[in-house]
Copies of this chain bind each other. A is one copy, B any other.
Amino acid sequence: MMADITPVLERADANLPASLNRLFDLVRIKSISTDLAFKAECRKAAEWLVAELETLGFEASLRDTPGHPMVVAHHTAEKADAPHLLFYGHYDVQPVDPLNLWEAPPFEPSIKEIEPGRKVITGRGTADDKGQLMTFVEAVRAYKETRAALPCRITILFEGEEESGSPSLKPFLEANAGELKADYALVCDTSMWDRETPAISAGLRGLVGEEVTIRAADRDLHSGYFGGAAANPIHILSGILAGLHDETGRVTLEGFYDGVEETPPAIKAAWETLGQSAEKFLGEIGLSIPSGEKGRSVLELTWARPTAEVNGIAGGYTGEGFKTVIAAEASAKVSFRLVGKQDPDRIRESFRAYVRSKIPDDCSVEFQPHGGSPAIQLPYDSALLTTAKTALSDEWPKPAVVIGMGGSIPIVGDFQRMLGMESLLVGFGLSDDRIHSPNEKYELASFHKGIRSWIRILDAIGA
């Protein structure tokens, strides 16, 4: 089989400069989905992808939604009985603030050598998820240019709302189930274990996002006149947020741990062989002390335990200098990462009930939901996973490992529940890619060997 795909791999190698130029074109489009000011840019990214897929022989189309458009594309296989794969990625990116921390403008991608022999592609979305989805597109290109046909039948689904909770996704899957259902889903939005070790993610945390706004007086007050007598919404909010965790780091919400199970000892043991440590994991980001539940490893904390995190808080005067004001309102964005069988709706309700119980009778609270999805646990021993593990191990210096994952990719659950499809989660990001942060990058090796990895995986699945 190796002999068979060598020309395809070589074609991918030869294509690399042009592949990079195409990725740069996509990165230059400012497709920030959470900010309506960039609505047209999101559409432009979708249109760019449709055009790109059409040149590869896909029957591709842009599909409007109430939010940002979907891209759907279909391509036949060489053999009629070849497996049918649905490839998923997202073309939207995170906001770029604080802009002043970027070393180069976020939407002007470039190649940078960060140490001898190690080059990275810089820019917003290079790792999350434009660089990743383009590894698959370029793998298809290498096949088409070498053999004219593909080893699998392929459907592509690119969405533009992944960074804003995917509000249009479920209705779209429902309305287009017949068109989108395949034998397996391939999702490319995850990371490698390290620069030499590819990884397949078998566990994904779920996510519940909530925005809470507390209102007290009907205007901002002078803290001299009213301080000591008037409710201060920042105090109320601080108390609520501080009460979310107990002194052992556990989340205090009623019923929060319903459906959370301890990680099986065999899996914990496998994770221990990876050589991760708090010093190493946190050292990369300038920290050293695990902050969550006491007595658990960082892998367990980030892969197998649920969390409550405040992602943003605002209230009162926050400009230069000082203003002795008691704010009329204060707000926070809070998210919960879920594991096991935790129910997103029940978690949201428990949070809201807790918050309401802390609001004085003369104040009010408003909630705004921002997405919710349960955790996913994929089987560790499926044929699909085993095939992919071998293909990845052939490409990279070290054998592929099967890991958990702290982030949330709600679509994996949707594919499972709505379309009855098992997903394969393969991605080439690294933990220091600074996704969602200033100075996002994607390793040039991730892009190049990522393309080659998909060539091998498609070949192995097709065989």
Contacts and interface: CB of A to CB of B under 8 A. Distances in A.
Interface of A: 33-36, 94-95, 97-98, 101, 163-165, 191, 205, 207, 209, 211, 216-232, 234-235, 237-239, 241-245, 278, 281-282, 285-293, 298, 301-302, 305-307, 309-327, 330-333, 335, 337, 360-363, 370-371, 405-408, 431, 434-439
A301 B229 contact: yes
25 contacts: A33-B321, A34-B321, A217-B287, A219-B285, A223-B337, A224-B337, A224-B406, A229-B278, A229-B290, A230-B291, A231-B291, A234-B310, A234-B313, A235-B291, A237-B313, A238-B239, A238-B313, A286-B362, A289-B361, A291-B360, A312-B317, A313-B315, A317-B333, A325-B436, A325-B437
A406 B225 contact: yes
Nearest to A310: B234
Given A310-B238, A313-B318, A285 B34 contact: no
Nearest to A369: B322
Contact of A35 (B241, B278, B320): B320
Given A222-B407, A224-B205, A320 B34 contact: yes
Given A97-B319, A211-B322, A285 B408 contact: no
A137 B298 CA distance: 68
Residue of A288, A312, A361 with most chain B CB atoms under a 10 A cut-off: A312
Nearest to A164: B321
A302 B35 contact: no
Contacts of A337: 223-224, 227-228
A346 to B, nearest CB: 20
Nearest to A316: B312
Contacts of A224: 205, 207, 337, 405-408
Given A165-B322, A317-B333, A333-B317, A227 B285 contact: no
A7 to B, nearest CB: 37
Contacts of A289: 231, 360-362
A230 B285 contact: yes
B282 A94 contact: no
Given A34-B323, A216-B287, A231-B291, 5 more contacts: A222-B407, A235-B310, A242-B243, A309-B326, A311-B325
A230 B165 CA distance: 23
A215 to B, nearest CB: 9
A301 B228 contact: yes
Contacts of A211: 322
A291 B360 CA distance: 9
Contacts of A330: 313
B309 A223 contact: yes
Contacts of A35: 319-321
A210 to B, nearest CB: 9
